[in-house]
Chain A
Amino acid sequence: MSTLEIKDLTVSVDTEDGAKEILKGVTLTINSGETHAIMGPNGSGKSTLAYSIAGHPKYTITGGTVTLDGEDVLEMSVDERAKAGLFLAMQYPVEVPGVSVANFLRTAKTALDGEAPKLRTWVKDVNGAMNKMHLDPTFSQRSVNEGFSGGEKKRHEIAQLDILDPAFALLDEIDSGLDIDALKVVSEGINDFRARDGKSVLLITHYTRILRYIKPDHVHVFVAGRIAESGGPDLAEELEANGYEKYVAAGV
């Protein structure tokens, strides 16, 4: 069970010309079991929102609050946030040379659970998750994300979602770079996760394509660092038809 509450969140990044404000007051509540989609044009600050929630050091929180079941997320270190139940699937997953996927997953699972996973079921679980994402079992022996294709990186993120089983998944453009078959595989993985009890998802996307496979409960239009409009699944359809122009024009 987890409710994520974001209130008036403002975030800046350091640039050569000083701090630049990117999030300009984001307020959003995601209740346990809900799936929210955030849709917005390039550069609107979607990844900034995801990274800020996950605690990336590059972003400075200048105002507002983020709580998970009432706990102050912003006070937590990056790994504490993961232990509290947050998971971020990254738009551009990072390569870690020389660290095998198997070692990485075992280390992460051990850290999250506070004990090493049972060897017997573990290997089966990992292989099962890889299999579901159509990743060859040999991926376990490869270095984390190194030499993975764009699509393989994304499927590897969802395999981790399956194995690490967080309460709350932030999925940042999990659909970008996927061909139609891979998109279906990834969507199935996300839907399997959603079918588990009380799991929440924040699905960040630029295109409506993935929403054919994953039905969100709420859709938010994200423009210029804030939510411009919120609605039900039909809002996505309207965006599909009319694009972001209306919002972008209004924002200027």
Chain B
Amino acid sequence: MTAAVQEALELDKVESHLHPEGSFDVEAHEVPKGREEVWRFTPLKRLKGIHDDAPFADGATKVEVEAAAGVTVETVAADDDVRGLSGLVPTDRVSARAWAASTGATLVRIPTDTVIEGATVIRHHGTGSETAGAGHAVIVAEKFAKATVVLVFEGSAVVADNIEIVVEDGADLTVVSVQDWADDAVHLSTQHAKVGRDANLKHVSVSFGGDVVRHDFSAEYSGPGGSVESLGLYFADAGQHIEHRLFVDHTAPKTKSHVVYKGALQGEKAHAVWIGNVLIRKEAEGIETYEENRNLILTDGAWADSVPNLEIETGEIEGAGHASAIGRFDDEQLFYLRSRGISETEAKRLVVHGFFNDLIRQIGVPELEEKLTSTVEAELAKNINTLIEKDATA
């Protein structure tokens, strides 16, 4: 570890519950019962035992890599030094179990001073295997490098993984994690980023498919001037549980975080959870943070929980704010559109597209834009009949 990193890590201890002590020892983490703060929204019964002691084995997903020119992608041994480079220490049992069970790690490295054209895509295809899989990936953008890495998850699988992201000083990295699973998939992902001096990380989580998808994304800063933009887009269908837990730990001065998550929910028992935690430490003077979560409930029977949470230990900040909303279609918007001859169904489609459009544009990955728009379209098409029925009975 370099001296600078060492120094940055020597922070005052924080009492905050936002910062539980982590441990690599699985047995240090009790089996969750469901009452614990971090588990109270998650349907444990549907996790296929991965929070308890269900075995992990290789082969749950087939991995395909399309590396952009200049990016190296390799598999390293489980005991390789790169594991832990981001500072990730598991704070829950699933993450600790995945760490212990991983037989190797995927290492993505973007060399110093290189600007990479095009996205590097790592595709995980669920094989429908009965056994759960444990994954580990480390993405390192070296100093002043610029690149985009897209992780795609599809097919049927039960997966627990740890994704580490290291953005060295001055680097500019975009990481997109697309959960486009089949209906029966279970995915618990712990993603942690360490953002260097004057470095930028754009982290995007897109969740469409899966039975239970829970993403914990956290970020810390190893130097001043770093910036994290954390974007999320999700579409929860009948019976689906999609949970995002964000934690931005402002560990250095003059750092920025901007979090925007938007989701639409439709169908019976569609459930979305968003927890947005931001901790501004005493030493994090002059920081700026904003977090926002918006949920659009398209039909009856769907519900969302949205909990922004800001903890501030210094008064010397540039700005801190949050917004959270759970709403249905706006009658005035629908009326306006319909008064121009647009049918109710079509008007709703327009509003939902509009709701996501800005966000899709902000993601700024051209390879993904069209795919995301058409996936939103496909999700809407699934439920368009329900939308109409609900209107008729409303």
Identify the A interface with B (CB < 8 A).
54-58, 77-79, 81-83, 87-88, 90, 93-99, 103-104, 107-108, 111-112, 143-144, 160, 164
Contact = CB atoms under 8 A, between A and B. Distances in A.
B342 A143 contact: no
A108 B341 contact: yes
B333 A98 contact: no
A99 B338 contact: no
Contacts of B353: 98-99
Contact of A104 (B343, B350, B355): B350
A141 B332 CA distance: 22
Categorize the interface residue count of chain B.
20 to 34
A107 B346 contact: yes
Nearest to A96: B333
Contact of A94 (B335, B342, B358): B335
B339 A78 contact: yes
A135 B209 CA distance: 42
Interface of B: 331-333, 335-344, 346-347, 350-351, 353-358
Contact of B354 (A56, A57, A78, A97): A97
Nearest to B342: A111
Contacts of B336: 90, 93-94, 96, 144
Contacts of A90: 336, 339
A111 B341 contact: yes
Contact of B343 (A54, A111, A160): A111
Given A54-B339, A97-B354, A99-B357, 18 more contacts: A55-B339, A56-B335, A78-B335, A78-B344, A79-B339, A82-B340, A87-B340, A96-B333, A96-B351, A97-B358, A98-B353, A98-B354, A98-B355, A99-B351, A99-B353, A111-B340, A144-B336, A164-B340
Contacts, number: 80
Most-contacted residue by chain B among A79, A90, A143 (CB, 10 A): A79
A26 to B, nearest CB: 20
Most-contacted residue by chain B among A57, A81, A108, A144 (CB, 10 A): A108
A57 B391 CA distance: 13
Given A57-B331, A107-B346, A82 B338 contact: yes
A99 B354 contact: yes
A79 B343 contact: yes
Contact of A79 (B331, B344, B355): B344
Contacts of A108: 337, 340-342
Contacts of B343: 79, 111
Contact of B341 (A93, A99, A164): A164
A160 B340 contact: yes
Given A77-B344, A83-B341, A108-B342, A94 B333 contact: yes
Contacts of B337: 96, 104, 108
Given A57-B331, A90-B336, A93-B336, A98 B358 contact: yes
Contacts of B335: 54, 56-57, 78, 94
Contacts of A104: 337, 340, 350
Contacts of B339: 54-55, 78-79, 81-82, 87-88, 90
B298 to A, nearest CB: 15
A112 B341 contact: yes
A140 B333 CA distance: 18
